[in-house]
Amino acid sequence: MFVNIFLSLLVLRSCYLVYSERYCSDCQIYYTCKAAVDYARFKPGDETNKLFEKAACGTETEDEDSDFMVCCSDFPSLNTSPQSTPPGRKLESKYAESNEENFDSISIEEQFPNMIPDKCGSILGNRIFGGRKAKLFEFPWMVLIAHETREGPQFQCGGTIITSKYILTAAHCVVDKKIASVRIGEFDINLEKDCDYEKHKTICKKEVQDMYVTEIIPHENYQRSPTANDIALLRVDGEIVFNYPNVEPICLPLSFELRSKHLDHEYGTVAGWGFTETGRESGVLLRVEVPVKTDAECKGYYNRNTREIINKQFCAGDFKKDSCNGDSGGPLMMKANYNGVNSYVQYGIVSKGPIQCGSSFPGIYTDVREYVDWILDNIKE
């Protein structure tokens, strides 16, 4: 995404411009400035190249291959933060009043004005398939939910940012629970400053947002056993700040094309801080790729052996590849075309799994496609 900008900055360097003479209080590596990343991703061209040239304030080191730094405040906001509907207003979705072909030709902004972000689920760089540890900034929509316990606040569930005020999670993570707070922008809960190491560079970030919850909205028809309608929203106190590269909403399957996507035998990515195969919670965010089972396969696992009735849910997992306790409420996501951009779209919410994690039994996920209207109906400004 930064190819043109790289060329522009290299031209400046070849002309012997000395970036270090430019001073600003927020001089930082270009890829740690969310506003700069937004311009490079969503507004490429000569205007953005010139903006980068003007904002250049030095390099991380004096090495020839060192990363360029920019004055982050030089980049005006592109207003990529999500918005919500006015108070009390229900969404009048064109999905209900248009035929499927016409609906899918309408952009996300036209379908859902002032409701859900049109820019979300960024895929920054290629990642290793089947890896265990996530990359810093890889899943910036991940949220930790802290419950009040006898030992004090404990992170026991996950969730995802879907707007600047709402978090999507599982109902069983909030019903009959006392929510202490939510944490946004975390990577390794054991470290004050999160760092990731790649060839020739070290990336670090320490900003997290701990926020109180003002409203808990579980699905009105949620039931614990057999599990049904295991979905909930949390409204945070205030507004999530999106001016950091470790904070961004995930995309939802809003369009007809995304809602009608066949998931059978597709691989989804699950991320969370849940228990690992050693039986301990992970301090660092983990990821795993899991195959989605067919309805028949899922019913074959569960209907014959448990009371579970698979409805508006799907199963995914493989031997030694599964979501686990502590991952509850987190996402199962897939890459898809969202508003013309290849992005992560959330298709599932970790709901329930086998007692023995990573066994041959797949985990159960709430199917987000079935609850898009419910989500939109319960979001307010």
Domain spans, the chain: 3-74, 81-381
Say what the pLDDT of residue 130 is: 36
Say what the pLDDT of residue 148 is: 92
Q: Which residues lie closer than 8 Å to 7 by C-beta, 6 or more apart?
A: none
Say what the pLDDT of residue 318 is: 72
Is residue 97 a contact partner of residue 47, using CB atoms and an 8 Å limit? Answer: no
Say what the pLDDT of residue 234 is: 97
What is the Cβ-side half-sphere exposure of residue 60, based on CA atoms within 13 angstroms?
15
Which residues does the annotation mark as catalytic?
A: 172, 230, 328
pTM: 0.71
Q: Which CATH number fits domain 81-381: 2.60.40.1120, 3.20.20.80, 2.40.10.10, 2.60.40.10?
A: 2.40.10.10
What is the Cβ-side half-sphere exposure of residue 91, based on CA atoms within 13 angstroms?
26
CA distance 373 to 381: 17
Using alpha carbons only, how large is the chain's radius of gyration in Å?
Answer: 22
- For the chain of 381 residues, list the mean pLDDT of each consecutive stretch of 10: 47 43 75 76 80 84 66 76 36 40 50 65 51 78 93 90 96 94 91 75 81 96 90 96 90 93 91 63 81 85 64 80 65 91 93 59 90 94 79
With b for 16 or more beta-carbon neighbours within 10 A and e for fewer, the 172-190 pattern comes to: bbbeebebbbbbbbbbbbe
Q: Which residues lie closer than 8 Å to 369 by C-beta, 6 or more apart?
A: 253, 258, 259, 261, 347
Is residue 232 a contact partner of residue 219, using CB atoms and an 8 Å limit? Answer: yes
The CB density around residue 133, as the number of other CB atoms within 10 Å, is 15
Pick from 115, 109, 110: which is nearest to 90 by CA? 115
Inter-helix orientation angle 46-55/3-14, to 10° = 50
Token pair in block for residue 125: 């760089």
Is residue 121 a contact partner of residue 344, using CB atoms and an 8 Å limit? Answer: yes
Say what the pLDDT of residue 90 is: 36
* ω into 76 cis (within 30 of 0): no
Is residue 325 a contact partner of residue 275, using CB atoms and an 8 Å limit? Answer: yes
Say what the pLDDT of residue 190 is: 85
CA distance 283 to 275: 10
